[in-house]
Structure 1
Amino acid sequence: MGDTRAPRHMRADAQRNRARLLAAASAAFARAGVETSLDDIARDADVGSGTLYRHFSTREALVEAVLDDRYKALAAEAAKLQAEHSPQEALMAWLKLFVNHLMTYRGLAASVTTALHNETSPLHSACHVMRAAAYELVATAQRNGAVRDDIDASTILHLAASVAWASEQAPADRAGVEQMLAVFMDGLLCNSRVSRAVD
């Protein structure tokens, strides 16, 4: 679940309402995807819709709050992988984690893809630490000669999101997801079959 911490100046009852909304939203997103009804989330949290909008003015703001700790964890995992593995292995392992994260809730891949383009989006801001970590992984792998330097980190994140989106169309086909991931990651490598075929 996302970050349940509330601003220190918030009253105790408001903090409880915020925590209930985040818990209800996390459950609703898992059940029905990120496009689920906000009114239903408010009802599940046993608060009014007005209370929901006072805490989270938009759907994206609510999604951002639910996912805040996940993005921080992805950034931390990037640093850990970079310290323990080769640049290529670190990037490949992290991309798998990122795709799995995007598959947590139906519709999340599309929401994140949109947010990556929109700097005014709350979700864009929430992704900042995670994006910076991903960009560093890509840059290190490119400097090391492991990953093609004709593709930038932003494009790589969008391609990863595309794999996650495609997986939503056949959620039971885990083997298909793994195959898409393998083809995607193989295409990033300097020594990949795809690169050799193009050259």
Structure 2
Amino acid sequence: MRADARKNYNHLLAVAREVVTEHGANASMRDIARRADVGLATLFRHFPTREALFDALLRTNLDALTQKANKLETLNPPDEALVSWFREGVAFVHSYSGVVALMANAHADPESALYASCAEVHSAGERLLLRAQADGTARADIDGGDLFALMSALGWLIDQPAFAPQEDHLFHVIMSAILTNRPGNDVKKAT
């Protein structure tokens, strides 16, 4: 990509990040173009679909979440790694209103521009869960899909004003449901 095209791409992405942070996943492509001071055609030249824009927007965060899982997997005990990664995942899905639905739909559609990034995050979380299950610190009757669903549900819940004040409590309730009860297992300690 030419330097001027890369500069325009990065500018559009920065503006899109601002607009999506303010308005969530339903942010208007027209509003993004207007704020970036470009025509809608220019925006679509860089991002031919909403999914392509969200893939570019979210990929950095999703890749960071995948890398975090890889790091935690090698440096932390299984239960602590799972708790830390789950907390980061919830923070991510909470970062943009409506991203949960986008990611859930993308994960079920291999043709989606977001599919690969979502599949990598899903796989990273599942590895952490399997590691904790093998260690006996996580329930054996849940899988990566359940983990992703619980993360998404909590991210959505804390996005609701009525539940936002209970974020920490709800996190601990969900983690207590994922982790097995064993002597010395304290979800709060592992966070």
Tell me the TM-score normalized by structure 2. Answer: 0.88
Counterpart residue identity of residue 147, structure 2:
I
1:146 pairs with 2:137? yes
Count of aligned residue pairs for this structure pair: 182
1:89 pairs with 2:80? yes
Counterpart residue identity of residue 139, structure 1:
L
Residues 105-114 or 88-97, more deviating: 105-114
Equivalent residue in structure 2 for 1:30, among 18, 21, 24: 21
Query: Which whole-Å CA distance do the structure 2 matches of 1:125 and 1:83 have between them?
Result: 23
Contact 1:75 1:130 in 2 (8 A): yes
What pairs with 1:60-99 in structure 2 (closer than 5 Å)? Answer: 60-99=51-90
1:124 pairs with 2:115? yes
Counterpart in 2 of 1:17? 8
Contact 1:17 1:45 in 2 (8 A): no
Query: Which whole-Å CA distance do the structure 2 matches of 1:177 and 1:34 have between them?
Result: 21
1:39 pairs with 2:34? no
Contact 1:17 1:47 in 2 (8 A): no
Equivalent residue in structure 1 for 2:168, among 178, 181, 185: 178
1:113 pairs with 2:104? yes
Contact 1:110 1:165 in 2 (8 A): no
Shift of 1:174: 4.1
Counterpart residue identity of residue 68, structure 1:
R
Counterpart residue identity of residue 77, structure 1:
K
Counterpart residue identity of residue 76, structure 1:
Q
Contact 1:99 1:160 in 2 (8 A): yes
Contact 2:107 2:119 in 1 (8 A): no
Query: Which whole-Å CA distance do the structure 1 matches of 2:116 and 2:46 have between them?
Result: 17
Residue deviations 1:25-55 (CA, integer Å, cap 9, x gap): 0010111112111001011111111111121
Equivalent residue in structure 1 for 2:178, among 183, 188, 194: 188
Query: Which whole-Å CA distance do the structure 1 matches of 2:91 and 2:3 have between them?
Result: 35
Unaligned 5+ residue runs, structure 1?
1-9, 193-199
Secondary structure at the residue paired with 1:91? helix
Contact 2:20 2:96 in 1 (8 A): yes
Equivalent residue in structure 2 for 1:48, among 34, 39, 52: 39
Contact 2:157 2:164 in 1 (8 A): no
Residues 56-65 or 119-128, more deviating: 119-128
Residue deviations 1:103-160 (CA, integer Å, cap 9, x gap): 1111112211222222211112122332221111011111111111111111111111
Secondary structure at the residue paired with 2:139? coil
Residues 61-70 or 174-183, more deviating: 174-183
Query: Which whole-Å CA distance do the structure 2 matches of 1:191 and 1:117 have between them?
Result: 32
Counterpart residue identity of residue 176, structure 1:
Q
Query: Which whole-Å CA distance do the structure 1 matches of 2:10 and 2:95 have between them?
Result: 20
Counterpart residue identity of residue 102, structure 2:
S
Tell me the TM-score normalized by structure 1. Answer: 0.85
Contact 1:61 1:123 in 2 (8 A): yes
